[in-house]
Structure 1
């Protein structure tokens, strides 16, 4: 079973590990290999632990936790493991949307099963609850999973070139305005 819940400070180490694992599987050929090899789950965990505890500017982190038959190999019997997460809050810069999804990372074995959609729904519901009427996110143009945001109805509204890891990379902004369009796109399918 996979459940989505608000992250706790104790989840930070697992969140940091998911962050590093997903970057290493998503960005070969996009980011330098030495940059990917040098990523530190511990360093990322410290940043997420602080974000989880502070909750500044409407910020929240939600995790996807797998247990039972859905738990990753090596998980102790009866245990659970963080297999993905989403973070966001009020937009870090004005102009595109009121809320922003800052990160959405999911281990490879848990993609294409609806878990990313459920994480996006949790963040959209949170952002709506803190008063955001629209939501946006940035994604690298060369990220092979950017189609996911288009599939959820995100409209490409901006592009920019950024410097990262010694490279010039193009990123794209996707917008859902009103935020209800993302909530509708991520609604559970009716049973029957």
Structure 2
């Protein structure tokens, strides 16, 4: 079973582990190998723990927790699914966001969406996006956006959810020039409709 719920401070270590694991698979060949090798789950966990506790600017994190038959076999990532074998399940993905850092583009922003490879193509990313869209709407955001690296192979997912490219930007990261694209949902109802649960029957 996969449960989507708001993150707790005790989830931070698992969230940090998922972040590092997904970067190492998604950005292999895109970012320098030595940079990916130096990524620290512990350092990322500290940042996520602070974000979970502070909730500044409407910030929230939601996690996907796998339990029962859906729990990763053999401990998932490095013997620990999502970085932690926990009572009640293992964190296998998460989404974070809040009020947009660039209000000229949208009112709300999805900052991160990461999911372990073994749990992709199962509708979990859509459910995480639904949780974040509902949160952003609840705090008064009438539009939403996210940035994605132009070389990220999963950018099709955001198009499929009705996001439209609205801006492009070049920046330097890990010692090299990178391009990113902003996907926009305006109004946010477009994202809410695209992530709505399928009717039963």
Normalised by the length of structure 1, the TM-score is 0.98
Give the C-alpha shift of residue 95 in structure 1: 1.0
Give the Cα–Cα distance (whole angstroms) in 2 for the partners of residues 144 and 88 of structure 1.
21
Give the C-alpha shift of residue 93 in structure 1: 1.6
Stretch of structure 1 that moved more, 149-158 or 70-79? 70-79
From the superposition, tell whether residues 153 and 77 of structure 1 become closer, same or farther in structure 2 (CA, over 3 Å).
closer
What residue in structure 1 maps to residue 78 of structure 2? Answer: none
What residue in structure 2 maps to residue 18 of structure 1? Answer: 18
Verify: 1:152 aligned to 2:161, yes or no. Answer: yes
Other structure's SS at 1:189 match: coil
Give the Cα–Cα distance (whole angstroms) in 1 for the partners of residues 135 and 86 of structure 2.
32
Q: How does 1:153-192 map to 2 (within 5 A)?
A: 153-192=162-201
CA RMSD after TM alignment:
1.2
Verify: 1:27 aligned to 2:27, yes or no. Answer: yes
Q: Deviations over 1:47-101 (max 9, x none)?
A: 0000000000000000000000000113579751000000000001221110000
Give the Cα–Cα distance (whole angstroms) in 1 for the partners of residues 15 and 129 of structure 2.
16
Q: Deviations over 1:103-125 (max 9, x none)?
A: 00000000010000000000000
Other structure's SS at 1:74 match: helix
Give the Cα–Cα distance (whole angstroms) in 1 for the partners of residues 156 and 95 of structure 2.
17
Q: Is the 8 A contact 1:68 1:77 kept in 2?
A: no
Give the Cα–Cα distance (whole angstroms) in 1 for the partners of residues 173 and 86 of structure 2.
41
Give the C-alpha shift of residue 45 in structure 1: 0.2
Q: Deviations over 1:138-185 (max 9, x none)?
A: 000000101000000000000000110001000000000000110000
Q: How does 1:21-170 map to 2 (within 5 A)?
A: 21-75=21-75, 79-170=88-179
How many residues in Structure 1 have an aligned counterpart in Structure 2? 192
Give the Cα–Cα distance (whole angstroms) in 1 for the partners of residues 102 and 125 of structure 2.
24
Moved beyond 6 Å, runs of 4+:
none
Other structure's SS at 1:190 match: coil
Other structure's SS at 1:157 match: strand
Normalised by the length of structure 2, the TM-score is 0.93
From the superposition, tell whether residues 71 and 125 of structure 1 become closer, same or farther in structure 2 (CA, over 3 Å).
same
